[in-house]
Amino acid sequence: MSWLLNSDKATEQFGGRLVDVLEGSGIVFLKGDLGAGKTTLCRGVLRALGYTGAVKSPTFTLVEPYELPVHLVYHFDLYRLSDPDELNYLGVDEYFTSQALCLIEWPEKGLGLLPKPDLEIEMRVVGDTSRRLFVQSGTDKGVRALTRLPA
């Protein structure tokens, strides 16, 4: 399925919808070129969960945990990962619990060590502020979530 989002605000709102359809937990792969809006979408997820602080891509730390009152969110950015085995040093398995929502930018850098995503979102720039999102499911939970995303 695909969506055309015409602004950063629309991208953030889409992130908020993900929280609802995934019921606050799951694994989401975010693919797209630099500047495609992956971190903006993550900001929308966090805002929908009540987080009011700054949201930036954890490019140098690889993962940014957000321990919110009711939810646990891990925002990964694997762009600078030179070898997928580096994820083992992070103890990556510990992040993927059934209670956490894991948002993973540049998942292709961690192939073979990451679990199957519930949703995979490819983001493409189609104008100055517009993005086309292509979303597919990778698990039964993802199938249910995808059918609940409004058109």
CATH number at residue 15: 3.40.50.300
Q: Are strands 131-137 and 26-32 parallel, antiparallel or unpaired?
A: unpaired
Domain count, the chain: 1
Tens of pLDDT, residues 47-92: 999 999 999 888 788 899 999 988 999 999 999 888 888 888 888 8
At residue 57, the 3 state secondary structure works out as: coil
What is the rounded distance in angstroms from the CA atom of residue 118 to the CA atom of residue 107?
Answer: 13
Tens of pLDDT, residues 40-58: 999 999 999 999 999 988 8
Residue pair 145/137 in contact (Cβ under 8 Å)? The answer is: yes
Does residue 97 surpass a pLDDT of 80?
no
What is the rounded distance in angstroms from the CA atom of residue 66 to the CA atom of residue 115?
Answer: 20
pTM, to two decimals: 0.93
Domain that holds residue 100: 2-148
